[in-house]
Amino acid sequence: QVTAKTAFLFILPQYNVSVPTADGELVQYHYGLKDLVTILFYIFIAIILHAVVQEYALDKINRRLHLSKVKHSKFNESGQLVAFHLTSVIWCLYVVVTEGYISNPRSLWENYPHVYLPFQVKFFYLCQLAYWLHALPELYFQKVRKEEIPRQLRCIALYLLHIAGAYLLNLTRLGLILLLLQYLAEFFFHMARLVCFTDENNEKLFNVWAVVFVVTRLFTLTLYILVIGFGLPRVESQALDPERGNLFSFLFNNILFRMSVLLLVCLFQASVMWSFIHSQLRRWREYWHEQSSRKRAAAGTKQQTKPLKRDSGYHENGVVKAENGTSPRTKKLKSP
């Protein structure tokens, strides 16, 4: 029994509470320090799954494609993220639909703070934190190039900041919707990169990703403004209550804190959109430059292969000949 209790500490979410409802009692959860032990266990699970996907899927495809070292590293990165994002999108969509967060948008801020979480919501957040924490040692295991490490560290830090912030600030419902939108856009991007590695001229999925990216950015910014700017000010946030696990929600009682968070979100989304527009303009310039170069090359080739107009004769082996095969030059008469 002692071993079983210890195993449950690693495997199952902790801090379960029976909440009375109209139909009886409902078991829900809040967060605490014991969550770190559960996250540690699922970090090892994520490392194992990462190795399985790498060995039984990505390595086999790499042997057939014969990619360079740079493309090989990017292919592995995109392959792993496609598997993760697809799984997370399906899982997150199932959670938000079954919990009714999409059918009832007001539930994103009603009865805030959302201290008590359903099992599937808490388990989803723990697994997400475990995955992005496992990505740190994977930088060493995958032998990522030094030039790529700062970019990947920045990406991991942003995901951890977002997920942990939503989890600790009791904004888990809003965080689920935002993660769904972000993972959907990232799935199309990395899927487009995988297709581009197999066929460099196929960029249709990049166009799809561009549309999905813009739409998800607009939805993300709208949700932030709706929930933080308009929804939360109408809710009477509870005070600090460590016994219930409510440690940080009281910050949203302060209008200055709410406006600061909203300003930071807007600036971050604006910077992301600026980078996206800049990269798309550069991509289109390169595309049209390549197309114009091909047209000039085709026009030059056509001009070279155009047949010469013949008037009184034509050239054969460097000698001008007439139409009837005789030379147009006058023959010199021999003197008698």
User: Does residue 312 lie within any of the structural domains?
Assistant: no
pLDDT at 336: 42
pLDDT at 335: 46
User: Does residue 330 lie within any of the structural domains?
Assistant: no
User: Does residue 163 lie within any of the structural domains?
Assistant: yes
Residue 237 φ then ψ, to 5°:
-65, 145
Residues 6 or more apart whose Cβ sits within 8 Å of residue 231: 106, 108, 109, 112
Q: With 70 as the cut, is the pLDDT of residue 93 above it?
A: yes
Over residues 299-319, the mean pLDDT reads 56
* Average model confidence (pLDDT) across the chain: 83
User: Does residue 96 lie within any of the structural domains?
Assistant: yes
User: Does residue 165 lie within any of the structural domains?
Assistant: yes
User: Does residue 311 lie within any of the structural domains?
Assistant: no
User: Does residue 300 lie within any of the structural domains?
Assistant: no
Tokens standing for residue 301:
């080739």
User: Does residue 131 lie within any of the structural domains?
Assistant: yes
Domain span holding position 124:
1-239+246-295
Over residues 269-281, the mean pLDDT reads 88
Number of separate domains in the chain: 1
Q: Where are the beta strands (DSSP E) in the chain?
A: 16-21, 24-29, 313-316, 319-322
Determine which of 89-93, 102-106, 152-156 has the lowest per-residue pLDDT on average: 102-106
Over residues 75-97, the mean pLDDT reads 95
